[in-house]
Amino acid sequence: MQDFLRSRRGSAERALTTHLTVTQDAAFVQRRDREDVMTSRQETASRGLTRRSALGATAAFAVTLPAIRPARAAVELRLTHPADLSHPVHLEAEAMVKRISERTNGEVKITIFPNNALGSPVEAAQQTRLGAIDMMLLNPANIEALSKTIGVINIPYQFDSYEHAHKTLDVTARDWISDQLKAAGFAWIANFEWGFRALTNSRRPINQPADVQGLKIRVPPELAIKAAFEALGASTQTIAFQEVYLALANKVVDGQDNPVGTTFAAKFFEAQKHLALTRHIYASIMFCANPRTWTTKLNEAQRKIVQEEGTTAGMAARKGVRDNEEANLAAMQKAGVEITRPDVGPFRDKMGPAYDQLRKALGEETWAAWAKLVASARA
């Protein structure tokens, strides 16, 4: 009996122990599951917080950054002129376009086409006016067909010196010239120059007006130059610039006229043994643009930079032309050319017939208005 009771008690204890173990295991599992759930929720919440924090930080950082403007597309323009690669006009034009590119951070890029690469000066003027060419260095005489009034700049012997010419074009007549060019279809930017014209010939030295009489002179298609030489008793023949050297070498004409720098660069002195500083006409050249190019392709800030750099380049080109003149004369004299420096007063006194012809072509009103501007620059 006692053995039986002990057996039953042992069974009960084992059952209780098993129950407790199972219960404890179940409780552990439940507790572990609850902890896992809590951990998962905490991790999820943490991840959400991290994402929200990151987004908030990004937004805050973005607010503190300055707005970044997309790079402006470069404006690419073409500029043509008739100067040789070694001429101060071309050298200063090259320096000008480099400075413009630098100051606009590459937003304005100008490509230069020298030596009439895009056509003769008259053709280039037409193309610039129409917008096929953006910019050019323009001789006012090249647009006589478009503007008769602008031809006043080439009236013979009206300027006493380089300084007088500069003051007239830059100061007293500045607005008048700009208006005339605008009416002809050009936006004026700045003044460059070729310099005073000089006469060369193969027959004799020129010291007085009578020495010009009887010479046959090549002239460009410009009324003022033609009228001036005919007033001095010479005959004239219009020949394209690119044909002048052969015409001189073959004695088709006796002589030609051009600024000293042009005569030297084109080597006309090789066929001409006499050069006279007659200074009969001041040859200007003006930096102009197609009006639509000027107002629509360039913004106000860019136009300001182009005008400033154009003015700087024009002043430097003027200095270069004058500095080179004496050096070119010395080189030609060394090559055997006789240089004369006649008094220009007697030559001016012979211009009556030329003035009459030009006054008629330009109109009395234009002639009188321009004369006042030139006279005021002497003050």
Distance between CA 232 and CA 214 in Å, rounded? 9
Identify whether 6 is part of a domain.
no
Q: Provide the token pair at 44.
A: 């999820």
Closest to 222 (Cα-Cα) out of 297, 283, 174, 310: 283
Residues in the chain: 379
Which pLDDT does position 172 carry in this prediction?
98
Asked whether residue 7 carries a pLDDT value surpassing 50, the answer given is: no
Which pLDDT does position 37 carry in this prediction?
39
Identify whether 28 is part of a domain.
no
Identify whether 36 is part of a domain.
no
Asked whether residue 22 carries a pLDDT value surpassing 70, the answer given is: no
Asked whether residue 25 carries a pLDDT value surpassing 80, the answer given is: no
pLDDT in tens, 87-125: 999 999 999 999 999 999 999 999 999 999 999 999 999
Distance between CA 83 and CA 91 in Å, rounded? 9
Identify whether 80 is part of a domain.
yes
Which pLDDT does position 71 carry in this prediction?
53
- Full-model pTM: 0.79
Asked whether residue 39 carries a pLDDT value surpassing 90, the answer given is: no
Asked whether residue 308 carries a pLDDT value surpassing 90, the answer given is: yes
Identify whether 332 is part of a domain.
yes
Asked whether residue 72 carries a pLDDT value surpassing 70, the answer given is: no
Dump the DSSP string for 178-226: HHHHHHHT-EEEEEEEEEEEEEEESS---SSGGGTTT-EEEE-S-HHHH
Distance between CA 358 and CA 253 in Å, rounded? 25
Identify whether 25 is part of a domain.
no
Model confidence band, residue 66 (pLDDT cutoffs 50, 70, 90): very low
Which pLDDT does position 379 carry in this prediction?
83
Identify whether 40 is part of a domain.
no
Other C-beta atoms closer than 10 Å to the C-beta of 147 total 16
Which pLDDT does position 230 carry in this prediction?
99
CATH of the domain at 92: 3.40.190.170
pLDDT in tens, 129-146: 999 999 999 999 889 888
Which pLDDT does position 306 carry in this prediction?
99
Distance between CA 159 and CA 222 in Å, rounded? 18
Which pLDDT does position 9 carry in this prediction?
43
Which pLDDT does position 55 carry in this prediction?
41
Total number of domains constituting the chain: 1
Across 66-75, 144-153, 234-243, least confident range:
66-75
Residue span of the structural domain in which 127 resides: 75-376
pLDDT in tens, 336-352: 999 999 999 999 999 99
